[in-house]
């Protein structure tokens, strides 16, 4: 494990480091030397103090330092050059610590439309803060996320071939990410760090009822008007519309994959007023939440 990891100071440097780490893990998986950690899939979509969950799986690549993951019924520590997958809906908390070098960890975040990733470092003692991040455009998210979902099942199957199946699926997934990173390195126009960071904040904090243009602007330290203008200029979409779209996409997934009632779904996607959620959902889908669930049951 290299102890001389430098904090990248630009998006090209971030992409170069991501390329190196993905290549390392692909080689480790192909030679049977990878250290993979995946929690048992229990307590999905439940609220637990000090924990959060996401609507799609997350991938963590520990570059240096170590991260202790807490789940409702287990915990483990991910060390340098180890890989962790957190299944969708799994409540978890994290604690960062320097170990054989400063703490750096890649986090790959998935939404229904794109994949983004960022490099985290230790902020306040034990907490994580983002160094740099970027969105990977052109991803077949459903296919790549499907590799992760099936790899999780294989990891816990404990059959003679399950580990090889898991490693093969993870290799396919990381290979897809590596292709996207290579494309991003070759592209002349890379999304700005601020807008990539905003996308990640929306995905990771979609359950927060305080999520808005104003709070996003506070988090990335600029004015709401400037952020709205920059987001639309770079993406072609209004920031308020993007937030609503992501909340509706998350709600659709919950309606399809859980038995949560409509009010619970509303709260889970950051709406304190179910009646307002109902109006927004119908505006974007042309159906009520109940109709949407019934047509897909």
What are the CA-CA distances from residue 147 to residues 81, 151, 200, 239 (Å)?
21, 6, 21, 30
- Tell me how far apart the alpha carbons of residues 109 and 14 are, in angstroms, rounded to a whole number: 16
What pTM was computed for the model?
0.80
Whether 73 and 214 map to the same domain: the answer is no
Whether 142 and 210 map to the same domain: the answer is no
63 close to 80: Cβ distance less than 8 angstroms:
yes
Mean pLDDT of residues grouped by 10 in the chain (297 residues)?
69 91 97 96 88 88 96 96 94 92 92 83 85 80 91 93 96 96 77 79 85 93 94 92 91 85 90 91 92 83
Q: Is residue 200 part of a domain?
A: no
- For the chain, the domain total comes to 2
Q: Is residue 1 part of a domain?
A: no
Whether 131 and 210 map to the same domain: the answer is no
Whether 209 and 182 map to the same domain: the answer is no
**Containing domain of residue 87, as a range?**
11-186
Whether 150 and 22 map to the same domain: the answer is yes
- Tell me how far apart the alpha carbons of residues 72 and 77 are, in angstroms, rounded to a whole number: 15
What are the CA-CA distances from residue 24 to residues 14, 62, 110 (Å)?
15, 12, 22
Q: Is residue 230 part of a domain?
A: yes
Whether 161 and 18 map to the same domain: the answer is yes
Whether 60 and 118 map to the same domain: the answer is yes
Q: Is residue 255 part of a domain?
A: yes
Q: Is residue 126 part of a domain?
A: yes
CATH value at residue 216: 1.10.10.60
DSSP helix/strand/coil, 192? coil
**Residue 281: exposure state from Cβ atoms within 10 A (0-12, 13-18, ≥19):** buried
pLDDT at 6: 80
Whether 230 and 164 map to the same domain: the answer is no
Which residues of 80-201 form beta strands (DSSP E)? Answer: 83-86, 93-97, 104-110, 115-122, 128-136
Q: Which of 186, 219, 245 is the last residue of a domain?
A: 186
pLDDT at 97: 93
pLDDT at 135: 80
Q: Is residue 165 part of a domain?
A: yes
Whether 289 and 227 map to the same domain: the answer is yes
pLDDT at 1: 41
97 close to 126: Cβ distance less than 8 angstroms:
yes
Q: Is residue 191 part of a domain?
A: no
Q: Is residue 82 part of a domain?
A: yes
- Packing angle of the helix pair 224-235, 239-257 (nearest 10 deg): 70
């Amino acid at each position: 494990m290299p102890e001389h990891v430098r904090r990248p100071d630009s998006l090209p440097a971030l992409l170069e480091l991501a390329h190196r780490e993905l290549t390392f893990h692909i080689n480790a998986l192909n030679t049977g030397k990878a250290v993979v950690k995946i929690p048992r899939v229990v307590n999905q979509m439940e609220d637990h103090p000090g924990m959060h969950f996401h609507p799609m799986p997350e991938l963590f690549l520990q570059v240096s330092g170590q991260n202790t993951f807490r789940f409702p019924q287990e915990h483990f520590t991910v060390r340098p050059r180890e890989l962790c997958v957190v299944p969708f809906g799994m409540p978890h908390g994290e604690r960062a610590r320097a170990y054989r070098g400063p703490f750096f960890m890649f986090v790959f975040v998935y939404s229904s439309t794109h994949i983004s990733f960022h490099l985290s470092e230790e902020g306040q003692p034990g907490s994580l803060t983002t160094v740099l991040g970027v969105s990977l455009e052109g991803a077949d998210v459903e296919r790549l996320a499907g590799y992760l979902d099936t790899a999780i099942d294989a990891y816990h199957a404990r059959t003679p071939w399950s580990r090889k199946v898991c490693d093969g699926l993870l290799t396919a997934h990381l290979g897809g990410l590596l292709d996207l990173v290579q494309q991003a390195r070759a592209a002349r126009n890379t999304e700005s760090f601020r807008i990539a960071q905003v996308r990640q904040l929306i995905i990771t904090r979609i359950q927060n009822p305080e999520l808005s243009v104003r709070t996003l602007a506070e988090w990335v330290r600029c004015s709401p008007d400037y952020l709205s203008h920059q987001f639309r200029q770079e993406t072609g979409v209004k920031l308020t519309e993007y937030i609503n779209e992501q909340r509706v996409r998350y709600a659709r997934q919950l309606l399809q994959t859980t038995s949560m009632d409509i009010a619970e779904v509303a709260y889970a996607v950051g709406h304190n007023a179910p009646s307002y959620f109902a109006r927004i959902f119908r505006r974007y889908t042309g159906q009520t939440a109940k109709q949407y669930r019934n047509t897909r049951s």
